Amino acid sequence: MNAKKLFLIAMACTAMAANAITPVKGVDRNNLDPTTPPGEDFYQYACGGWMKNHPLDPQYARFGTFDQLAENSREQVKDIITNLGSNNPRGSIEQKVGDLYAQGMDSIALNAGGNKPLLTQLSAIAVAPKSDFIQLVAMMHKGVNDPFFNSSVMADLKSSNENMLYFMQGGLGLGDRDYYLENDANTVKVRKAYEEYINRVMQLAGYKKGDAKKAVKNVMGIETELARVAMSREESRDYSKLYNVFTLDELKAKYPAINFDAYLNALGVSGVEKVCVFQPASLAKVNEMFTTLKDKQIRDYLAFKMVDAASNYLSDDFVQANFDMYSRALSGKQVMQPRWKRALNVPNSLLGEAVGELYVKKYFPEESKKKMQRLVDNLRMALGEHISSLSWMSPQTKVNALVKLNSFTVKIGYPNQWHDYSSVNIDPALPYWNNVLAARRHAAEYEYSQLGKPVDKERWWMTPQTVNAYYEPSSNEICFPAGILQKPYFDPDADDASNYGAIGVVIGHEMTHGFDDQGRNFDHEGNMIDWWTEEDAAKFKQLADKLGAQYSEVIVADDVHANGNYTMGENIADHGGLRISYSAFQKTPQGKGNELIDGFTPAQRFYLSYANVWANNITKEEILRRTKVDPHSLGKNRVNVAIRNLEEFFRAFDVKEGDKMYRPEQDRVIIW
């Protein structure tokens, strides 16, 4: 599993209309709730109509305008894959993609296979001597699961042109330590469902009832102990705590019960001179476990990790168990997605760039790339002006910030060099799980093969058909895949206000990530170097903490508050994106004027367009889950909390003191 740190957002659009005041697309009045004054609850005013007109489909835990675009991209990919034909040359990418999809669609073969595709792997775990356990762990780290801990190869945080091996905390099937440690009603419910899931799939895999019950105890015991020493979500965002570098000899001496030579050999990795341990306390616990746990406990844990990884690629009873746990109990989904969507996700992710190459040929015109580049240039200029005019930052730090801004690498649409999948063998005569595993192992082996090589700065961390975007600090790059650069977010027929309110804010959001509480720790070359004066860093932290407190005061469900510290980076990026894009918009002909379109001023259309980006319906379970594990704030908070810092918003909708949306000037935050 790759641990590359991506700062993800949820949507974008591109391109400015030639005639800025033509009454065309953009803000849709059907999205509004005119019964709610904008000064009372702007999110409800701007998105209430959309939420009413799009009741939550039970196959989703959350569905919004972003998901509409993702559905459109999925339909496009489906059209590509289902029209590949069935007589493609063996070894061609068309054969691999087509056969992998076809196997996922073959319910008869999958149900006939039952647990058989797992039996060889489970038998190997059942008879392995203790000395082989670390090799089994390594085998699973090559694309299967993350028992005990995890590892990955990525750029050295302090030497961005060099790759280094990293060890990270892992082993938690529920994803976050709080699910094991907290005792509120929802967490207890999720934990109970997880125990039932372990019992259920282990019996499906061939365990007898009594043995499955013991496996539940062994798995939960190990994962709970790992959770007790795991870093919190907030701690895991602090790079200064994560960068703990050891020589290989030092690593062996510190954690002697872990046979690193056998582990690295099983990974196929050699020549390791130094490693970085993100969470030393977690690896210390693993070291202790390897001396204190009984063989049966480890075997049950490894067996479950194998079954858990395979469960979505086996017979329907396994798939249903997986859905009931990770979708129903954890997120509140009520209905499983249709088989074609589930089958499509496999080649679309595991052979992602191969599908992406076919995708951009059909759906991404070159002109879109050029228009997007021009828009990025406009936003870069606006952010530069903001940095230059900051009152809280010294001239010395401003120079460094501007150097970093002007060093951004911008990736738009698709990579210059496509990934090579020639070594992936997809054999339709083998079980579906075997072929999924082959593709997963290819991805993992490619990651580990980068050790000892220079960092590939041309590499993409999302596929072209992905509906998302990112900023990557170690390469100081922003990336906008083709999948997100289409209607309704890329709309050349819409006015400037609508486009700047959507794609403009998204571009500004990604740029601001280079200067959020994490990104600011990296210089223009992607190295973790402190380029701030001590005084400026203190002022930044004071402003960031104040912004975080605004989010943390919001109750998201029951008595649970939002976590403004965990979502700090995304909140700063939203805040910066709004300010930067609005400044760029004001330089357009529409932004300089005040002509109404459909009864709305340009400023009103800008903020309505932004709010509509985050329109969604969401289950209570998903709200609580995301509050635990998602570094992004909920859509409503990305609107209502962020814009309450903006005087331009107050003027646009005549929001005054006494209105719920109003925030007194002394309580507002302006960072970027």
Both tokens assigned to 321: 């168990």
Q: Could you give the percent of the chain with pLDDT greater than 90?
A: 88
Alpha carbons 68 and 87: distance in angstroms, whole number: 33
Mean pLDDT for 101-113 is 97
Break the chain down into helix, strand, coil percent, rounded to 5.
55, 10, 35
Closest CA to 507 of 400, 587, 582: 582
Give the SS3 label for residue 159.
strand
Report whether pLDDT(187) > 80: yes
Shared-domain flag, residues 378 and 293: no
CA within 13 Å, CB half, 635? 25
State residue 5's pLDDT score: 41
Alpha carbons 635 and 616: distance in angstroms, whole number: 7
Kindly write down the DSSP assignment for every residue of 110-153, as one continuous string. Answer: HHHHTTHHHHHHHHHHHH--GGGHHHHHHHHHTTT--SSEEEEE
Is 299 within the bounds of a domain?
yes
Instruction: Calculate the alpha carbon distances from 645 to 238, 543, 654 in Å.
Output: 26, 12, 14
Shared-domain flag, residues 412 and 464: yes
Shared-domain flag, residues 267 and 414: no
Domain count, the chain: 2
Mean pLDDT for 645-658 is 97
Shared-domain flag, residues 288 and 360: no
Shared-domain flag, residues 531 and 437: yes
Is 657 within the bounds of a domain?
yes
Q: Which residue has the higher pLDDT, 33 or 233?
A: 33
* Domain stop point among 313, 332, 362: 313
Please write the tens of the pLDDT for every residue from 436-493.
Answer: 999 999 999 999 999 999 999 999 999 999 989 999 999 999 999 998 887 767 777 7
Closest CA to 611 of 44, 17, 9: 44
Give Cβ neighbours of residue 15 (< 8 Å, ≥ 6 apart): 368, 371, 372, 375, 490, 491, 492, 499, 503
Is 40 within the bounds of a domain?
yes
Mean pLDDT for 642-669 is 97
Is 327 within the bounds of a domain?
no
CB 440 within 8 A of CB 144: yes
Is 605 within the bounds of a domain?
yes
What's the chain's Rg over C-alpha atoms? Answer: 25
Report whether pLDDT(366) > 90: no
State residue 25's pLDDT score: 65
Instruction: Calculate the alpha carbon distances from 579 to 131, 383, 386, 642, 669 in Å.
Output: 58, 9, 9, 10, 12
| Residue 85: band (very low, low, confident or very high) from pLDDT cuts 50, 70, 90 | confident
Alpha carbons 595 and 588: distance in angstroms, whole number: 13
Cis status, amide bond into 37, omega within 30 of 0 = no
Closest CA to 223 of 184, 258, 177: 177
Please write the tens of the pLDDT for every residue from 122-146.
Answer: 999 999 999 999 999 999 999 999 9
Is 560 within the bounds of a domain?
yes
* Domain stop point among 287, 313, 339: 313
Shared-domain flag, residues 247 and 171: yes
- Degrees to nearest 5, angle at CA 226 with 222 and 229: 150
- Degrees to nearest 5, angle at CA 626 with 622 and 630: 155
Alpha carbons 59 and 332: distance in angstroms, whole number: 9
State residue 615's pLDDT score: 95
Kindly write down the DSSP assignment for every residue of 486-505, as one continuous string. Answer: STTTS-TTB-HHHHIIIIIH
Shared-domain flag, residues 37 and 138: no
Residue 60 sits in a domain of what CATH number? Answer: 3.40.390.10
Shared-domain flag, residues 361 and 288: no
| Residue 535: band (very low, low, confident or very high) from pLDDT cuts 50, 70, 90 | very high
Report whether pLDDT(167) > 70: yes
How many Cβ atoms are within 10 Å of 666's Cβ, its own excluded?
5
Kindly write down the DSSP assignment for every residue of 291-353, as one continuous string. Answer: HHS-HHHHHHHHHHHHHHHHGGGS-HHHHHHHIIIIIIIHH---SPPPHHHHHHHHHHHHTHH
Closest CA to 199 of 110, 323, 126, 300: 300
Shared-domain flag, residues 358 and 291: no
Kindly write down the DSSP assignment for every residue of 250-299, as one continuous string. Answer: HHHHHSTTS-HHHHHHHHT-----EEEES-HHHHHHHHHHHHHS-HHHHH
CB 492 within 8 A of CB 444: no
Shared-domain flag, residues 388 and 492: yes
State residue 27's pLDDT score: 86
The pTM (predicted TM-score) of the whole model is 0.89
Alpha carbons 644 and 450: distance in angstroms, whole number: 45
Report whether pLDDT(13) > 80: no
User: Residue 478 pairs with which residues in a beta bridge?
Assistant: 410, 471
Residue 175 sits in a domain of what CATH number? Answer: 1.10.1380.10
Mean pLDDT for 413-417 is 94
Alpha carbons 178 and 185: distance in angstroms, whole number: 13
According to DSSP, the β-strands at 409-413 and 616-618 are unpaired
Question: What's the mean per-residue pLDDT of the chain?
Answer: 93
Helix 42-53 vs helix 602-613: crossing angle, to nearest 10: 60
State residue 26's pLDDT score: 72
| Residue 2: band (very low, low, confident or very high) from pLDDT cuts 50, 70, 90 | very low
| Residue 375: band (very low, low, confident or very high) from pLDDT cuts 50, 70, 90 | confident
Give the SS3 label for residue 66.
helix
Residue type, 438: A
Please write the tens of the pLDDT for every residue from 296-335.
Answer: 999 999 999 999 999 999 999 999 999 999 999 999 999 9
Give the SS3 label for residue 471.
strand
| Residue 160: band (very low, low, confident or very high) from pLDDT cuts 50, 70, 90 | very high
Mean pLDDT for 409-420 is 95
How many Cβ atoms are within 10 Å of 295's Cβ, its own excluded?
11
| Residue 1: band (very low, low, confident or very high) from pLDDT cuts 50, 70, 90 | very low
Is 35 within the bounds of a domain?
yes
Shared-domain flag, residues 67 and 143: no
| Residue 66: band (very low, low, confident or very high) from pLDDT cuts 50, 70, 90 | confident
Report whether pLDDT(39) > 60: yes
Domain range for residue 248?
130-313
State residue 19's pLDDT score: 32
State residue 488's pLDDT score: 62
Phi, psi of 56 (to 5 degrees): -65, 120
Residue type, 211: D
Report whether pLDDT(394) > 70: yes
Residue the block writes with tokens 């953009």: 26
Helix 93-105 vs helix 339-350: crossing angle, to nearest 10: 150
Both tokens assigned to 151: 């590892």
| Residue 372: band (very low, low, confident or very high) from pLDDT cuts 50, 70, 90 | confident
Is 389 within the bounds of a domain?
yes
* Domain stop point among 289, 313, 337: 313
Shared-domain flag, residues 138 and 62: no
Closest CA to 36 of 54, 51, 17: 51
User: Residue 555 pairs with which residues in a beta bridge?
Assistant: 561
How many Cβ atoms are within 10 Å of 370's Cβ, its own excluded?
14
Report whether pLDDT(270) > 70: yes
